[in-house]
Chains A and B, each alone.
Chain A
Amino acid sequence: MTERVASTRLALFGGVYANLPALEAVLADIASRGAEPGWCLGDLGGFGPDPEECVNLLRARAVPTVQGNYDHSIGHRLADCACGYTDPDDQRFAQLSYDFTDARVSEASRAWLRALPAEVRFEFAGRRVLLCHGSPRRQNEFLWESAASEPFLEWLCREHDADLLVCSHTGLHWHRALSSGRHVVNAGATGRPAHDGRPGAWYAELTVREGALEVSFRHVTYDTERLAARMDAQGLPPEFSETVRTGWWTTCFGSLPVRERIAAADARLAAAPQSR
């Protein structure tokens, strides 16, 4: 029996990446919007300095959480995050973050991460909702907006009995309303900015108004300078704190498709023509 969610507003966020101030800010925003407690789409570790604190906060607030590949790896003490990077530099940075997180997560948190479900299903406004981390078929699959055709997304939803599919994993948020009436939403990331020059966190908000589904993305700010300074002090790579400060990715985007890559490059050029 699928659970029915009665509220008219849902908040979904993913990619916490051990960024506690971002998580606190997002949870506060969700509360202010009346969408508590929100749903987390996984990847609590990596990148930032506070994986254990992020796990504890989600547990304390009883936020239902889907397991990300990071959570699976840390939970099972695997050798790496299985993020799926193929670029050697990406792999090196990913391993640095992974080892940093791995050294800071308690046994109790590992057990909790291990036990997280790979998917969550419920009914919302008459729609069958499926929450997952990467894709319904693979925890570490990248669903990029420009690299997944609509026929493919339709197929994915059909195969997995979903009218509304919500994922994360890539760090970039997007929404596609399919011609069948189904929806695919990538909730983006809270722990890392969206490679758009805007420091802060992103999450997805789903609202039902007179039966119609509205999808929007909320940008939430926090003290990024303070976090960046802490990351530097803890010995995390300066490339990571630069991302927190500037809102631009510096690592781990080898698999970013060209459409998103060029949009970022163009925006960056427009924002600071002298820096190129």
Chain B
Amino acid sequence: MPHPSARQSSRSALTRRIGPGLTNRLATDEGFSPEAALGSPGADTSPVPNQPLLHLEQLWIQVAGTLCNLSCTHCFVSAGPNEGRHAMLSREDVAARVAEAVAMGVREIYLTGGEPFLNPSIEGIVEDTLELAPVTLLTNGTLFTPHRTRWLAATTRSSRYSLELRVSLDGTDAASHDAFRGAGSWRRTLDGLRALEAAGLLPIVTLTRPAHVDASELAARAHAALAAEGVPAARLKLLPMFTLGRETRRPGHAPPPPSLAALPAEAFDPNRLQCGTCRAVTSRGVFVCPLLVDEPGGRMGDTLAESARAFPLAHGACSTCWATGMTCAND
């Protein structure tokens, strides 16, 4: 079935308090083009917008550090089998961070890496965290053993909070996906998705959308490909490609977008970006968002309380966020 209005996941209608005269259709349906959204780039000497932390809604915890069993060519945190820049977190580390966030009224917790299932304490971490808040687990879907699938199914059903699973794809067939993720990845991830389906679990499938690919066309292709692979009920979330981490070293990557310095002050809306409501924690401290954990300026302090201040949106990635209206969160 065609998806005439598929688009990058847009927070437009969700993040704005509706006021008289505000049109409900915002410009995020267009393809990703920071230049078009920002006007002419270049005025990099002007100050960049400051993003206040409105309230901590989403806490990202890099439970596996940068350890991953894959080493995708575009990984924005450059994770891989030998990547130890950010260390794995213990069950106690995670509980302490969750407690800090709970004190601030956090709404939901995202557990990420690297690959969270490489953390030997992952089950305990998920169970502890689910006692306090909804949890989303972001995985490459290649490490679902039968035991783990049973555990996921039981935990999902017995918890009062949602345990969302997010499985990443980077293409709609083996060739395009494996080009990013390595030979055999597509097959292993689809086996994982089928195992979840058989256990009655309903993961969110995230899909990277390269800048030149039309969102509705990509969504239609993904639905068709997943249905053909026996994963018909997939919920889909499209994410833009960021020029960050390993992607900046991939031959042929897109040039980093210009900074938000060219954005007129009156055009800035503090409700548009996820960093108005999120922070990310790794073994190295608290960062503004899950995207900038390896970037200069991304670190905001040792504690969440220290990070509860405005952040200057100076990174090129901020332009990608602004132009697409994207969030790493589920909606």
| A78 and B226 alpha carbons, distance in the complex (Å) | 36
In the complex, whether B160 has a CB less than 8 A from a CB of chain A is yes
Residue pairs across A and B with CB atoms within 8 Å: the count is 122
In the complex, whether B201 has a CB less than 8 A from a CB of chain A is yes
Partner pick for B3 among A84, A89, A152, CB 8 A cutoff: A89
In the complex, whether B156 has a CB less than 8 A from a CB of chain A is yes
Contact A149 B24 (CB under 8 A): no
In the complex, whether A138 has a CB less than 8 A from a CB of chain B is yes
In the complex, whether A148 has a CB less than 8 A from a CB of chain B is yes
What is the distance, in angstroms, from A271's C-beta to the closest C-beta of chain B? 15
Contact B162 A257 (CB under 8 A): yes
In the complex, whether A254 has a CB less than 8 A from a CB of chain B is yes
| A255 and B55 alpha carbons, distance in the complex (Å) | 21
| A257 and B235 alpha carbons, distance in the complex (Å) | 11
Contact A88 B13 (CB under 8 A): no
Identify the closest chain B residue to A90 (Cβ). Answer: B5
In the complex, whether B10 has a CB less than 8 A from a CB of chain A is yes
| A146 and B3 alpha carbons, distance in the complex (Å) | 28
Contact residues, B148-169 vs A (CB, 8 A): 156-157, 159-165
Contact B55 A155 (CB under 8 A): yes
In the complex, whether A226 has a CB less than 8 A from a CB of chain B is no
Residues of B within 8 A of A (CB): 1, 3-7, 9-10, 13-18, 20-21, 23-25, 55, 57, 102-108, 132-134, 156-157, 159-165, 200-202, 216, 219, 235-236, 331
Q: A89-B1, A149-B133 given; name 14 further pairs at CB < 8 Å.
A: A76-B21, A79-B24, A80-B25, A91-B5, A138-B14, A138-B16, A140-B18, A145-B160, A147-B162, A149-B102, A151-B102, A154-B105, A259-B156, A259-B162
Residues of A within 8 A of B (CB): 69, 72-73, 76, 78-89, 91-92, 137-142, 144-152, 154-156, 254-255, 257-262, 265-266
Among all A-B residue pairs, the 6 with the closest Cβ atoms: A155-B105, A149-B133, A88-B3, A152-B107, A257-B162, A259-B162
